[in-house]
Structure 1
Amino acid sequence: MLHSHLTTLNAVSLVLNTFKDQGLPSDALLAGSGINAADLSRADTRITTNQEMLVCANAVALQRDIGLELGRRMHVSSYGMLGYALLTSATLGDALRLALRYPALLGTLFQLSLEADGELIWLTAADYRENPALATFNIEFCLVSLKVICDDLLGHPLPLRGARFDYPAPDYQRRYAERFDCPLQFDAACNAFAFDRRWLEQPLP
């Protein structure tokens, strides 16, 4: 199973907190989702991925590049026990392979894989099957958060060699350079970022 149809309020809370920092109340973001303030106060609340995506759609309507910002806030500590397990892995490669074994715990809507290309490794997000209107948002959120995980595990930014996106460059393309310090390619065949293969063997601090 690629991802669970039931999920936690983790991503929703992230959206609400991000816009709260901008002074926007939560009502506009929760509109139509069926999630209310009482749900937010309970740690064991489960929602559907459809409810989560409704909140995300409201967020995108307010700020089109919000996926880049949300991904930046998804540090490895956001993933609970999985995050702790990643931090205790011996190498970056061990940590990434462990993460890719549990996509539901990552909360991803993609099939994630490590694709070898000579001396490069492409961390690829494929097989998206959710709302097409939110594809760009979800790709931004996914790839930026994966980059943040790599940076957190290493204790410093992972140098990237390239990033690819299977959609046309958005009008806020310049913001991509803030998250992906490497050559960017839009209208590509896949969604992925690349780094030197040697980083897979890098011991974690």
Structure 2
Amino acid sequence: MINKFLNAKHWQLFTLMFGIPILLQIVVMTTMFANIDSNGNPDQTGMLNMMKIFPIIMFLYVGLFFGWFWSIGIGLQKYIPDDINMKIKKFKIFFLIPLAYILFLLIVIGTTFYGFSSGSNAVGGIVGKMLFVVIPMHLLSMFCIFYSLYFVSKTIKTTELKRDVTFSEFAGEFFMIWFFPIGIWIIQPRINKIVSEESTNGNTVYKT
């Protein structure tokens, strides 16, 4: 799976990570507005049924986005000189924290829309009761995501230069990955080039 992400073209990743979720959201919203009657009253049953697709959209987006992050952060390590310490274990821990938090929220939302709870009020009730956990986890997850951005962008630049790099040297990569719908068109071709060149050179030594 890692190799599939690393070898994927920029337009393929953009379509899967951004294009398809946006298209599905447009279809859902268009269908919901089309079900509004002449008096301006929405079809609540139809709206609730259409809302069920949102957890699927988010699950698709999160899976692809985090899969891309993981593939870069871990998959490119085999192309980095052994004398450079990239703190891989720290990245793995910081990567898993927001992933687990987001999956938890998706499960709560999903079980609500698929009939295990009683509508949107149930989501608010569950989250409201767990604010003392949700708020710290949300802030921690944001920090972990930014660290993952930092690690992934540093990994790309380190792989290219084959030496330790400072933040000023990979700040461009950091912001391009942060704004990935635009940056992916620049970052992914570079990743493709790294993999292609290193594969040609026969570099297959993995780091752990």
TM, length-normalised to structure 1? 0.24
User: Which of 1 and 2 has higher RCO (CA within 8 Å, sep 6+)?
Assistant: 2
Q: Going by fraction, where is strand more abundant, 1 or 2?
A: 1
Q: Going by fraction, where is helix more abundant, 1 or 2?
A: 2
Q: Considering only CA atoms, is the larger Rg found in Structure 1 or Structure 2?
A: 2
